[in-house]
């Protein structure tokens, strides 16, 4: 496995299971050998899983840090945002790597595994593979075959109201009956909006094969002026519909959208969206 536990002098914590202890906010670590220098390296949990408290409440950092031995001593090499444990650390030759199997979508397809390791100068992703085990790049494209994304205008679909995962009639009826369904949305070049708001649109990229990356940003309360990147990918399925692909902050599963002509949406519902 390439994993072992041992005591360390620079941290007042015990060598225990990383996930159990981090969940209890007690701190934990894994010992590994990433850069091959013969001295132990570490994966450690950060305080409160990277969540600051009190005066800095709401600020976030990575829940894990890599601490790597160097000729000058130990240095924090990289912050890692995934959920990892001892079972993800694998031995390859004389070095260890982290095989992160929590897939996501790229321009070309699904990326099943990202392998983190020492690239000669720092910790980085040194390998990615799809769900068939084939080597791919960061966009899920077979190495050497990726087509460059290019700026684009609004995708070739109507702007306006969309039924989300249902028919237009059912979406409009549900929206008029209560103030909380997610079955109707409004999509144009400025925003994707549901009953409770939605992200602002900053631009589009064409990825080929009727796929577009939507550059979006979500904002929280009135004090949130920077917002959070919430980019997502859509695939146009016809003249009046698209699907939002799974694998983004907004969409953890694929969601279908079907355009609804404005006159099929009750005026009271339109007033709510447009008001």
In a domain, 5, yes or no: no
Q: How many CB atoms lie within 10 A of CB 187?
A: 24
State whether 98 and 171 are in the same domain. Answer: no
State whether 191 and 113 are in the same domain. Answer: no
State whether 158 and 62 are in the same domain. Answer: no
What integer pLDDT is reported at residue 189 of this predicted model?
94
State whether 132 and 155 are in the same domain. Answer: no
- Domain region containing 231: 151-274
In a domain, 2, yes or no: no
In DSSP terms, which residues pair with 79 in a beta bridge? 65
State whether 234 and 174 are in the same domain. Answer: yes
Average pLDDT across the chain, whole number: 76
Q: What would the two tokens of residue 144 be?
A: 């050497």
In a domain, 1, yes or no: no
State whether 178 and 222 are in the same domain. Answer: yes
pLDDT band at 14 (very low <50, low <70, confident <90, very high): very low
Residue 224 contacts residue 242 (beta carbons within 8 Å): no
pLDDT per position as a tens digit, 175-223: 666 544 578 999 999 999 987 788 899 899 888 889 998 988 887 655 5
In a domain, 142, yes or no: no
Q: What would the two tokens of residue 168 be?
A: 């237009």
DSSP state of 197: B
Strands across the sheet with 135-136, in order? 89-92, 95-100, 113-118, 123-129, 135-136
State whether 155 and 127 are in the same domain. Answer: no
Provide the number of structural domains found in the chain: 2
In a domain, 36, yes or no: yes
pLDDT band at 42 (very low <50, low <70, confident <90, very high): confident
State whether 121 and 165 are in the same domain. Answer: no
State whether 118 and 155 are in the same domain. Answer: no
State the pTM of this model. 0.50
Last residue of one domain, picked from the residues 88, 103, 136: 136
State whether 87 and 162 are in the same domain. Answer: no
Q: What would the two tokens of residue 56 be?
A: 């800095």
What integer pLDDT is reported at residue 230 of this predicted model?
82
Angle between helix 168-177 and helix 267-274 axes, rounded to 10 deg: 70
Percent of the chain residues topping a pLDDT of 70: 73
In DSSP terms, which residues pair with 232 in a beta bridge? 214
pLDDT exceeds cutoff 70 at 50: no
pLDDT per position as a tens digit, 117-132: 887 778 888 888 888 8
What integer pLDDT is reported at residue 115 of this predicted model?
87
Last residue of one domain, picked from the residues 112, 136, 160: 136
The more confidently predicted of residues 71 and 20 is 71
Query: What is the rounded average pLDDT of the residues 257-269?
Result: 90
Last residue of one domain, picked from the residues 77, 101, 136: 136
| Lowest-confidence region among 74-78, 81-85, 190-194 | 81-85
pLDDT exceeds cutoff 80 at 267: yes
The more confidently predicted of residues 68 and 223 is 68
In a domain, 10, yes or no: no
What integer pLDDT is reported at residue 149 of this predicted model?
63
State whether 59 and 108 are in the same domain. Answer: yes
In DSSP terms, which residues pair with 266 in a beta bridge? none
In a domain, 102, yes or no: yes
State whether 129 and 155 are in the same domain. Answer: no
pLDDT per position as a tens digit, 19-39: 444 444 455 678 889 888 888
In a domain, 267, yes or no: yes
Residue 1 contacts residue 86 (beta carbons within 8 Å): yes
């Amino acid at each position: 496995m390439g994993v072992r536990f041992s005591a360390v002098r620079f941290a007042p914590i015990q060598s225990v299971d990383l996930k159990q202890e981090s969940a209890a906010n007690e701190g934990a670590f894994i010992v590994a050998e990433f850069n091959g220098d013969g001295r132990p390296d570490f994966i450690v949990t950060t305080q409160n899983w990277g969540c600051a408290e009190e005066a800095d409440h709401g600020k976030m950092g990575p829940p894990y840090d890599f601490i790597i031995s160097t000729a000058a001593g130990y240095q924090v090499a990289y912050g890692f945002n995934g959920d990892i444990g001892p079972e993800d650390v694998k031995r390859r030759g004389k070095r260890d790597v982290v095989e992160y199997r929590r897939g996501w979508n790229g321009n070309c397809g699904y990326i099943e595994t990202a392998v983190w390791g020492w690239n000669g100068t720092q910790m980085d992703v040194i390998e990615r593979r799809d769900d068939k085990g084939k080597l791919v790049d960061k966009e899920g494209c077979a190495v050497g075959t990726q087509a460059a994304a290019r700026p684009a205008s609004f995708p070739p679909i109507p702007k306006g109201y969309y039924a989300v995962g249902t028919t237009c009639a059912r979406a409009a009826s549900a929206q008029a009956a209560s103030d909380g369904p997610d079955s109707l949305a409004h999509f144009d070049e400025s925003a994707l909006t549901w009953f409770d708001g939605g992200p602002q649109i900053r631009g589009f990229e064409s990825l080929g094969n009727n796929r577009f990356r939507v550059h979006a940003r979500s904002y929280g309360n009135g004090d949130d002026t920077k917002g959070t990147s919430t980019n997502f990918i859509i695939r146009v399925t016809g003249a009046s519909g698209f699907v939002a692909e799974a694998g983004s902050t907004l969409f953890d599963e694929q969601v279908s959208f079907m355009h609804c002509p404005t006159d099929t949406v009750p005026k009271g519902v339109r007033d709510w969206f447009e008001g």
